[in-house]
Amino acid sequence: MARAGITTERLILMGAELADEVGIERVTLAEVARRFGVKTASLYSHVANTAALDDGISLLALAELAELATEATSGRAQREALAGLANAYRDYALAHPGRFAAMLRPLTPEVAAASAGPRHARLTEAVLAGYGLTPEAHPHAVRLIGSTVRGFITLEAAGGFAHSAPPAAESWRSIIDALDALLRNWPAPDSSHHGHTTSERNHA
Partner DNA sequence: GAAAAATCCTAACATGTATAGGTTTGGCGT
Partner DNA sequence: ACGCCAAACCTATACATGTTAGGATTTTTC
Q: Which residues bind DNA (CB under 7 A)?
A: 1-7, 28-31, 37-42, 44-46, 48-51
H/E stretch holding 88 reads helix 78-95
Based on CB atoms, which residue is closest to a second copy, 39 or 155?
155
What CA–CA distance (Å, rounded) separates 152 from 170?
12
List binders of a second copy among 128-187 (CB under 8 A).
Answer: 137, 139-141, 143-144, 146-152, 154-155, 158-161, 163-166, 169-175, 177-178, 180-182, 185-187
Specify the 3-state DSSP secondary structure of 192: coil
Instruction: Give the residue, chosen from 84, 96, 99, 100, that forms a contact with a second copy under the rule CB under 8 A.
Output: 84
Chain center to CA of 132: 25
CA 2 vs CA 5, 15, 43: distances in Å: 9, 22, 16
Instruction: For the chain, report the end-to-end CA distance as a whole number of angstroms.
Output: 68
Work out the number of other CB atoms within 10 angstroms of the CB of residue 17: 17
In whole angstroms, the minimum distance from the beta carbon of 142 to a second copy comes to 9
Residues 111, 204: contact at Cβ < 8 Å?
no
Instruction: Give the residue, chosen from 60, 80, 125, 129, that forms a contact with a second copy under the rule CB under 8 A.
Output: 80
Based on CB atoms, which residue is closest to DNA, 6 or 127?
6
Specify the 3-state DSSP secondary structure of 77: coil
Is 19 a binder of a second copy (CB under 8 A)?
no
Positions that interact with a second copy (CB under 8 A): 25, 72, 76, 79-80, 83-84, 87-88, 91, 104-106, 117-118, 121, 137, 139-141, 143-144, 146-152, 154-155, 158-161, 163-166, 169-175, 177-178, 180-182, 185-187, 189-190, 193, 196-200, 202-203
